[in-house]
Chains A and B, each alone.
Chain A
Amino acid sequence: MTHLDGRESGATDPNAPVRRSVLTLRGALKTFGPVVALADGTIDLVAGEIHALVGENGAGKSTLVKILAGVHQPDAGEFSVDGQAVSFRNVADSKAAGISVIYQEPTLFPDLTVAENIFIGRQPKGRFGLISRAEMRRRAKDLFDQLGVPIDPDRVAEGLSIADQQIIEIAKAISLDARVLVMDEPTAALSGVEVERLFAVARRLRDAGSGILFISHRFDEVFGLCDRITVMRDGTYIATHETPAMTVEAIVREMVGRDIDALFPKSETERGDVVLRVSGLTRPGVFHDIDFEVRAGEIVALSGLVGAGRTEVARAVFGIDRYESGTVEMLGQKLRSKDPRASIDAGIGFVPEDRRKQGLVMELSVERNAALTLRHSLAKFGLISTRAEREAAETWGKRLQVKSSSPEHPVSTLSGGNQQKVVLAKWLATDPKLLIIDEPTRGIDVGTKSEVHRLISELAGRGIAILMISSELPEVLGMADRVLVMREGRITGRLDRSEATAETVMHAATAALESSR
């Protein structure tokens, strides 16, 4: 536990006297091959404050966190902890310097008890050098008392909620004397009550003098919890503000850095016939009574919080997962449940959310990946040739401006944006009538991002029906003709382009707002 020299924690008070920096990072640069993940990573964390780090996806927040955690080593920049210049070679160095990172989903050892997890690798020893369970239990209990959270130190970690697992990670951090606690989107998977409990813990730690860096996409949390806000955009530090002086609008403006209309080149298109009609689609416990249709030339966005069931619906429509009842019709033809091949033949393309695991076979060459969806149509008399694959890959690679040094190199050597283009290329090559795109620009550098947006608009202009899932609100508002909002497995809002605003979408997406209506 951190004990500061008698100083009161006054970060909430704008007139707080001395502010001692516990962690300072200036101008950190980090590149991965051709991609600059972080151009100017700058953060100044003082003792006794909760400091929010906000930015769009791909703004470089995660890279910055990984530098703090010692996972990545910056290529340039200044980094100091407690005024001492540091350079971490690995995670252990960072831990030793008093930095603890709590990730969205902690990884505990499921078969060990809570206390064992906290003291793993440094168990208190008793007589004869054996582990003293009583001592370990007592210390774990102390930690939880300190945090004001009742968790039984003797239970095994398996089956604990994510919220409890995070608390255990925090307890572990305290036991390590961590002065800096970094929470990387800790609330993404938590319920309302759990979020409140986590915040209570965070405030206690702040008042005890720790510096807490809090990364979140949720503005209500940022404004409700944090003392200061640092904004990042495109891998670059933009500004740091005192929270009371800011509004959500001002922060969003800084995060986006430009007019959303200019960012998303949305062209008006003719809406054609219904391409996809989904009715009564239900998988108990996951999604219920999903009804919607997508017309030719239309971009329909499926919005909602992470975990609302958006991806699950898309997977069921495409045939990756089974559904219990309801129907999926493509151009009037009913599709079979759990048969992706039939969906592809019916004209559906699916760009999945996890490019590295689902969208591409990372070890295979660019051309093999690009031609994988075409393997049946390219075959002559049942035989497929490398030449045919290469020609197809070249055609689409050129059209989408895929940058690679050779089509024979593994697709893993490309940058994220170019990988995503390969995924798009392989589906466009099948001449789809409907393209389902799950998180079209996740983890893509900003330049390529707008290229992808332009491409999606163009495709809709050419009459392809597009069902887009996105967690980025600006993307949803900027791209979609219609927005369907999901919450807890149901569609809770259907908004036209004219009705869709950040407010109306968030209204439909969050239960709290819904009930207050």
Chain B
Amino acid sequence: MSDPTGSGTIVHPDGEPSETAAKGRRMTASPGSTRPGTEKRQKPGRRGAADTSTVLAVPKGRTGAARILLGRDAVMIYVLLVVVLYACIVIPRFASPVTVGFLLLDVIPTLLIALPMTLVIISGEIDLSVASIAGLTSALMGVLWQGGMPIALVLVICVLAGLVAGAFNGVLIAYLGLPSLAVTIGTLALFRGLALVVIGDNAVANFPPGLTAFFTSKIGGTGIPTVMVGVVVLIVAFAIVLHFTPFGRGLFALGYSKEAATFVGIDVARSKFLLYLATGTVSALAGIYWTLRYSSARSDNASGLELAVIAAVLLGGVSIFGGKGSIPGVLAGVLLIGTINYALKLDRVSEVVLIIVTGSLLIISVVAPNVAAAIKQARHSRRVRSAPLP
């Protein structure tokens, strides 16, 4: 090993420290991967650094749909399918349009807020004030409507209120650099308090019947709520932003390392600010939906929803430490919780059990990948130790 050129110190393909060491070994050993073409490009005097190993991208990686369907995030999708199938078979009355309708109506607020929450958590932050923003919006809506304002204007003002609430979070977190956990615990209380100031203990229920009916109406006989059309548009929009835009790429990068993100020209503060605008705005939409669906504007609407949303997002494979996650995974997470809850309700299981089941699921979903990784690691290190030294 005292070869002064150092050529002996470089690459040993067998020692690839990746999780698929076995795979890597097989690939480097195959005759096609020696790639004489690439070696010809090397200068004559060049030391044989690459001679024994694969050059980048010899194995073609997966792209597009295959990447999502075979990826880590897909696990939840499969779990969801299994649960739905199981429920259809075992629980009477589950497989019906009525189920679809109620399940979706129940799940929409969580689903809506989960979208921007996914982006926020991937970027390494959190927003606990979402449900309070929804409550504030609901309160505002009730008061303004009762005050005689045209409903269209009320809705616009409510959305703007959400935007402003989000901007408030955003300025504190993105531009003043305060920790998002602390800031949004504060605004969780602040916005809920404001809601109480706005509407007090009253409840406003006399919204235009046409509008409230629209919010619970279904598309034909399918049982799918009409508002799902709008929700789907938002889902697609968020999925595109996260998975197919430069901005989305930046979010993953800064979720892992804000410093490294800065060095490739990602504006960390601006990105975070935009995310909080999004959570604020979408929370307002969820507040509006909540108010019209139950035809009731109250200060405590949607209270506690933030935890349900975060639970669903984490269940959907998003890492609480940032950097990891996908919209399809989160959809599966939200629908999984919704389905289990609904199925158990149909089966007349009490509320307490539902909460216990949800909590356990969350813990399992967070623990399972760690256990899997630990097993993989243990196997890997055993293999490394038993392998002959280079």
Contacts and interface: CB of A to CB of B under 8 A. Distances in A.
A169 to B, nearest CB: 28
A104 interface: no
Given A31-B389, A361-B256, A368 B249 contact: yes
A408 B63 CA distance: 10
Contacts of B28: 405
B323 A363 contact: yes
Contacts of B323: 361, 363-364
Contacts of A393: 56-57
Given A415-B11, A445-B6, 16 more contacts: A34-B11, A36-B1, A258-B4, A344-B264, A360-B260, A368-B253, A371-B249, A384-B249, A385-B64, A405-B18, A406-B24, A407-B57, A413-B16, A445-B10, A447-B10, A454-B43
Interface in A12-35: 29, 31-35
Contacts of B11: 34, 403, 415
Contacts of B16: 33-34, 405, 413
A233 B263 CA distance: 33
A75 B385 CA distance: 9
A411 B190 CA distance: 43
Nearest to B1: A39
Contact of B59 (A373, A385, A406, A451): A406
Interface string A346-375: 000010100001111111101110011101
A397 B253 CA distance: 20
Given A379-B246, A384-B246, A417-B10, A405 B23 contact: yes
A364 B245 contact: no
Interface string A413-438: 10101000000001000000000000
B202 interface: no
Contacts of A241: none
A133 interface: no
Interface residues of B, number: 63
Residues of A contacting B: mostly: mixed
Contacts of A32: 17
A398 interface: yes
B60 to A, nearest CB: 8
Interface string B14-26: 0111111001100
7 contacts: A35-B10, A235-B1, A344-B265, A384-B246, A447-B10, A451-B49, A454-B43
Nearest to A76: B389
**Most chain B CB neighbours (cut-off 10 Å) among A75, A236, A257, A417:** A236
B56 A398 contact: yes
B61 A384 contact: no
A405 B260 contact: no
Nearest to A29: B389
Given A402-B56, A448-B49, A34 B2 contact: no
Contacts of A383: 240, 244-245
Interface in B9-53: 9-13, 15-20, 23-24, 27-28, 38, 42-43, 46-47, 49-50, 53
B264 A382 contact: no
Interface of B: 1-2, 4-13, 15-20, 23-24, 27-28, 38, 42-43, 46-47, 49-50, 53-57, 59, 61-64, 67, 240, 244-246, 249-250, 252-253, 256-257, 259-267, 323-324, 389-390
A361 B53 contact: no
Interface string A371-411: 11101101100111111001001100110011111111100
A251 interface: no
Contacts of A493: none
Given A320-B262, A386-B63, A408-B61, A362 B257 contact: yes
Interface in A28-73: 29, 31-36, 39-40
A352 B246 CA distance: 22
Contacts of A186: none
B261 A361 contact: yes
A390 B57 contact: yes
Contacts of B59: 405-406
B264 A373 contact: yes
Given A39-B1, A340-B262, A405 B49 contact: no
Interface of A: 29, 31-36, 39-40, 75-76, 233-236, 257-258, 320, 340-341, 343-344, 350, 352, 357-364, 366-368, 371-373, 375-376, 378-379, 382-387, 390, 393-394, 397-398, 401-409, 413, 415, 417, 426, 445-448, 450-451, 454
Contacts of A403: 11, 49-50, 53-56
B276 to A, nearest CB: 21
Contacts of A75: 389
Contacts of A235: 1, 9
B189 to A, nearest CB: 30
A110 B245 CA distance: 44
Given A234-B6, A405-B54, A341 B265 contact: yes
Contacts of B23: 405
Contacts of A445: 6, 9-10
A366 B265 contact: no
